[in-house]
């Protein structure tokens, strides 16, 4: 599954287009590509190690703190340490799972990634966290559920392997929110009725009109701000968003299974992690959910795993418009129209934000000459194709009718510069 971002592309596109340049550098300019890095064997060593990238994009960076060592005094490092300790304990003590792979793999984390980087992600090898831009986003290590969300992407990768597109991708996102909520509530000692059901509360700086990034109990209500816009997440299958953005709207449509889980957790009672969380974990790992499972298939798996709570779980899914085990064809929604001239759109990321730009090469825009030169050099057919990866950015290029979707790790220097120019505002 590989790289999974926390901030949705549609949100980053709106509030932090400058992070695009950072993201491009993160993938295209990384000194040691993820695929080329040496994997450290799992044999004896700490359960987790937190590194700092010192505001570069080199991974994993400099080791600062490992399991069993005292606080470092660096807020991001110590927040990551608390989060990973709690997340590993959740999976081990509640679900009997040894680390994300079930075999005790040590976890590598990196903080202080990039300059003003507005995201967090699982890249297939480690967890990575930016410090935010200080204008909209703060540290991504501050809300503990961000870490729980990203670690769960690794768990999903090693279990059901839900592909990161369309309904399976929305389920992938939702499962990460589910166990992020379990982690947060377990650390706070909350019941489902006491919990706020917010994901990413505290991730925005003061002055932003937002309670969190997502609201599992009431999708679409987490924020309404002049900078952010209004939370576009949906919470019922009737409102399913059909789009080519954000890998088929994975951060938008994840609100549907998110709400089903919240309803199930309240109906089952007890604690979320032992109640509905146990049901969802058993469904994820039980063998009946696979890479292409849609909402209905996953719902059916949760009902089958729910035992005496099957009726409550089934009712939760029916409330959001999903019939467990039945065909769940999404309602038709707006399609993204092709844009003429030269255009670039960036989607994805943990926040699901999107940003786009368009440039007329025949205009008197001062960027036009350089963009035209880049378009002449770029061969989109030579760019590798890769399956979407959770919480990472995806770029859609339309170069005078020559179109391609490019994963951020495959941005060439020319494509990186092209995106920088066209998305400049």
Distance of CA 10 to the CA centre of its chain: 12
Instruction: Assess if residue 398 is contained within a domain.
Output: yes
- pLDDT value at position 15? 75
d(CA 102, CA 399): 45
User: Nearest-CA neighbor of 121 among 236, 30, 245, 225?
Assistant: 30
**Any idea what the CATH number is for the domain that residue 114 is in?**
3.10.170.10
How many structural domains are present in the chain?
3
Q: Are strands 48-52 and 62-66 parallel, antiparallel or unpaired?
A: antiparallel
Boundaries of domain holding 195: 166-199+213-319
- pLDDT value at position 241? 96
Instruction: Assess if residue 206 is contained within a domain.
Output: no
Q: Please return the burial class of 315, using the count of CB atoms within 10 Å of its CB with bins 0-12, 13-18 and 19+.
A: middle
- pLDDT value at position 3? 59
Same-domain status, 51 and 132 = yes
d(CA 44, CA 56): 29
In order along its 425 residues, the chain shows pLDDT tens digits of: 545 667 787 787 777 665 555 554 443 433 333 333 333 444 468 999 999 999 999 999 999 999 999 999 999 999 999 999 999 999 999 999 999 999 999 999 999 999 999 999 999 899 999 999 999 999 999 999 999 999 999 999 999 999 999 999 999 999 999 999 999 999 999 999 999 999 999 999 999 999 999 999 999 999 999 999 999 999 999 999 999 889 999 999 999 999 999 999 999 999 999 999 999 999 999 999 999 899 999 999 999 999 999 999 999 999 999 999 865 444 444 433 333 389 999 988 887 778 899 998 888 889 988 888 788 778 887 888 777 678 888 899 988 878 888 888 888 888 989 998 998 75
Same-domain status, 314 and 348 = no
Instruction: Assess if residue 328 is contained within a domain.
Output: no
Same-domain status, 275 and 350 = no
Cβ partners under 8 Å of residue 415, min gap 6? 24, 28, 378, 383, 395, 397, 406
Instruction: Assess if residue 226 is contained within a domain.
Output: yes
Instruction: Assess if residue 207 is contained within a domain.
Output: no
Same-domain status, 304 and 249 = yes
- pLDDT value at position 18? 57
Of the residues 150, 157, 173, 420, only one is catalytic, namely: 150
Same-domain status, 99 and 29 = yes
Same-domain status, 405 and 306 = no
| 150 given a catalytic annotation | yes
- pLDDT value at position 425? 54
Same-domain status, 92 and 37 = yes
Instruction: Assess if residue 326 is contained within a domain.
Output: no
Same-domain status, 178 and 313 = yes
- pLDDT value at position 334? 40
Instruction: Assess if residue 292 is contained within a domain.
Output: yes
**Any idea what the CATH number is for the domain that residue 170 is in?**
1.10.390.10
Strand partners, 65: 50
Of the residues 112, 153, 251, 309, only one is catalytic, namely: 251
Same-domain status, 142 and 189 = no
- pLDDT value at position 93? 98
Is the Cα dihedral 409, 410, 411, 413 positive or negative? Answer: positive
Same-domain status, 296 and 348 = no
Q: For 128, phi and psi rounded to 5 degrees?
A: -130, 135
Per the CB < 8 A criterion, the answer to whether 254 and 232 are in contact is no
Instruction: Assess if residue 335 is contained within a domain.
Output: no
Q: What global pTM score does this model have?
A: 0.77
Same-domain status, 223 and 354 = no
Same-domain status, 184 and 91 = no
């Amino acid at each position: 599954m590989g790289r999974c971002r926390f901030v949705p592309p549609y949100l980053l596109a709106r509030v932090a287009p400058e992070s695009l340049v950072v993201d491009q550098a993160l993938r295209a300019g990384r000194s040691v590509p993820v695929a080329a890095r040496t994997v450290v064997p799992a044999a004896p060593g700490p359960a987790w190690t937190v590194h700092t990238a010192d505001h570069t994009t080199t991974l994993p960076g400099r080791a600062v703190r490992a399991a069993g060592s005292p606080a470092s005094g660096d807020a991001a490092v110590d927040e990551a340490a608390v989060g990973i300790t709690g997340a590993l304990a959740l999976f081990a003590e509640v679900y009997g799972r040894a680390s994300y792979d079930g075999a005790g793999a040590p976890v590598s984390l990196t903080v202080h990634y990039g300059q003003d980087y507005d995201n967090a992600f699982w890249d297939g090898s480690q967890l990575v966290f930016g410090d935010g831009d200080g204008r909209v986003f703060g540290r991504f290590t501050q809300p503990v559920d961000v870490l729980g969300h990203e670690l769960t992407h690794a768990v999903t990768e090693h279990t059901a392997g839900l592909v990161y597109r369309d309904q399976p991708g929305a389920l992938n996102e939702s499962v990460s929110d589910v166990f992020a909520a379990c982690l947060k509530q377990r650390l706070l000692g909350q019941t489902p009725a006491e919990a706020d059901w917010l994901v990413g509360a505290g991730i925005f700086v003061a002055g932003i009109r937002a309670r969190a990034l997502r609201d599992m109990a009431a999708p679409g209500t987490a924020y309404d701000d002049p900078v952010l816009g209004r939370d576009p997440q949906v919470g019922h299958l009737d409102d399913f968003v059909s789009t080519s953005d954000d890998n088929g709207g994975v951060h938008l449509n994840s609100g549907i299974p998110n709400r089903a889980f919240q309803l199930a957790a309240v109906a089952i009672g007890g604690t979320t992690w032992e109640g509905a969380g146990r049901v969802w974990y058993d469904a994820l790992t039980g063998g009946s959910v696979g890479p292409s499972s849609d909402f209905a298939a996953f719902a059916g798996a949760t009902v089958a795993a729910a035992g005496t709570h099957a009726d409550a779980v089934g009712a939760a899914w029916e409330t959001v418009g999903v019939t467990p085990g039945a065909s769940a064809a999404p309602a038709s929604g707006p399609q993204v129209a092709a844009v003429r001239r030269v255009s670039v759109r960036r989607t994805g990321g943990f926040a699901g934000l999107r940003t786009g730009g368009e440039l007329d090469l025949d205009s008197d825009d001062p960027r036009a000459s350089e963009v035209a030169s880049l378009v002449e050099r770029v061969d989109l057919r030579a760019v590798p194709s890769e399956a979407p990866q959770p919480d990472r950015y995806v770029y859609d290029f339309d170069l005078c009718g020559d179109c391609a979707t490019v994963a951020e790790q495959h941005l060439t220097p020319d494509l990186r510069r092209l995106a920088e120019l066209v998305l400049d505002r």
